[in-house]
Amino acid sequence: MCIILSQTVGDKEEEAVIMQGLIAIIVGVLPFLWLFHAFEMVSLAISLPIFFVCIGLLVIGIVLKTRHRSGSAKVRGARIAQTAKQAILANIHMLAVNQRNLVKLDDYGNEDHSAVLRDMGRFVDNNIAKKLGIELTEREQKKLFEIIRKEASRYRRNNASLFVEYDHAMTQAEYEAYCETLLKVDGWKTRLLPQAERPEGIDLVGEKDGMVVAFQIRKAERPVGNRGVNRIHDAKEGVGATHAVVIANEPFVTSARQLASELGVELWHHSDIGEGFR
């Protein structure tokens, strides 16, 4: 494929050189022909065929120029399409999440998609345009936006279970399953411990990037205090974990944050899953 592409580009460059040469000949010959004819230095029988030859060369030059532009556009389009396909597939989950989560309601109850457009713009600039070393036209960017929306929508339809919305009415068990799904989406290999086998303070064990992490998942009705922080810190070694994280739906009180900082325990809201360790 690379050889064919390079040959195509080479052919187009050769045509461009021929085209420029023909135009240079025409531009050089026609003025002199006109002068020679004007001063009767060349007869009509000679000048007229030369004139038509120049017109023919001009037509050939225009055809080659059109082919060159068309061929260059096709090569550019193919490069953009290939790079876009790879980038979108590699980041499809986050694109799908942002397509949903970044839509806000304005003060009048209307959907505001401006944050979605900014996110797609950053993605296209950083993951497609910069990799290709080109500046995309407005038309090309709009086409890529359409493709991203289409692929993100298809991904959400095909993976509906990954896009369950948080509901404050969830039970503890439902909230644990919800957080486990978010962790799996973020690349964690998880093991939700059966109730009878859970060490005090640990609900789930996750592995990622060589780390083994003990997770405590709290579905709380009020800000979370110190107790969970102490419990998971004391119990993490019992499951072979090197790190400990408490995930909750409510904020943590100041004393819990201070204690967690001292003990090296991470405190996450479930919306923090995916942002990594701080």
pLDDT of the residue at 229: 94
**pLDDT, tens only, 141-198:** 999 999 999 999 999 888 877 777 788 899 999 999 889 988 987 889 999 998 888 8
> Residue 14 CB: number of other CB atoms within 10 A?
12
pLDDT of the residue at 221: 92
Residue 24 reports pLDDT greater than 80:
no
**Tokens for 159?**
């993976």
Percent of the chain at pLDDT exceeding 70: 74
**pLDDT, tens only, 38-72:** 545 545 455 556 555 656 656 666 655 555 455 57
What does pLDDT average to over the chain?
A: 80
Residues in the chain: 278
The answer to whether 209 and 170 are in contact (CB under 8 A) is no
Residue 119 reports pLDDT greater than 60:
yes
Q: What is the mean pLDDT of residues 121-145?
A: 94
Q: What is the mean pLDDT of residues 236-263?
A: 94
Distance CA 160, CA 181 (A): 12
pLDDT of the residue at 56: 63
pTM of the model: 0.52
Give the CA distances from residue 164 to residues 97, 150, 161, 247, in Å, rounded to whole numbers and listed in that order. Answer: 11, 20, 6, 17
